[in-house]
Amino acid sequence: MQMFKYLLLIATLFFLLSGCAKPPDKSLDDTRGIIARAYAAGAVQYAPGEYQLAKSALQAAETQIENKQYKKASRTLELARRYSVEALRQTTERKQQLALEQQEIAEEKRLAESAKQRELKRQAALKKQQAKKNKITKLKQSKSAPVATDKVPPVVVKLELVDTVEVQAGENLAVIAARAEVYMDPLLWPLIYKANRDQIKDPKEIFSGQILMIPRDKSKVEVEAARQEAQTLNLFQPLN
């Protein structure tokens, strides 16, 4: 009889304790929310193992709640939360790593393209420089070619205008412009300066041995403008 009362008391306490226990609804909602965030972030792709463990733990907890095993469900939900948080962390780190790798690849491509463009510009500059040298060489050769004396008029000697000149020691642009074979006018030095800007940085600084182009295609308006510009600047002393 006493044993029966004892068992009845235990059964009553168990019933009361079970009746007082509440389902972990808030914990369940929180866990579902974290797993949903992990899914939205791409955990299925970037952290599939941790994500699947979190889902399995959540499903087990839901089953335990249906069976009113609330304490077990609480522990299982805690496990599901840990897995889902880890899945979210791994996903974030993996995506950041991929973004850095893509940036590095893009930077490598940019540097390669920049180096390619520099090389193309260098080759183009070399071609242009070589073409100019070839032109100057041809002009020199044409000037130094022997002239048949029997074809030169014996009485009249005509002065030939030149397309290039070699700077002599002590010369400036005004002196060169005043040469008879150039312009015979020192005030036309701006024409020579503008035609040779690639090798003359300061019109008052030219060097012995430079080969300068002499433009011959200028109109009367351009010639007069050059003369007025020279008078205005007055960089060189008047020639005696």
> Residue 158: its pLDDT value, please?
54
Residue 131: both structure tokens together:
């073409």
Side-chain-side CA neighbours of residue 185 (13 Å): 13
Residue type, 179: R
Tell me which residue of 204, 157, 214, 223 sits closest to 181, measured CA to CA: 214
Measured CA to CA, the distance from residue 61 to residue 38 in angstroms comes to 18
Q: Which residues pair with 212 in a beta bridge?
A: 165
Q: What is the pTM of this model?
A: 0.42
Measured CA to CA, the distance from residue 166 to residue 218 in angstroms comes to 21
In this structure, how many other beta carbons lie within 10 angstroms of the beta carbon of residue 172? 19
Q: CA geometry: angle at 16 spanning 12 and 17, to 5°?
A: 115
**pLDDT, tens digit, for every residue of 124-148?**
877 888 887 788 888 778 766 655 5
**pLDDT, tens digit, for every residue of 25-39?**
999 999 999 999 999
**pLDDT, tens digit, for every residue of 15-26?**
444 433 689 999
Check if the beta carbon of residue 172 is closer than 8 Å to that of residue 204. yes
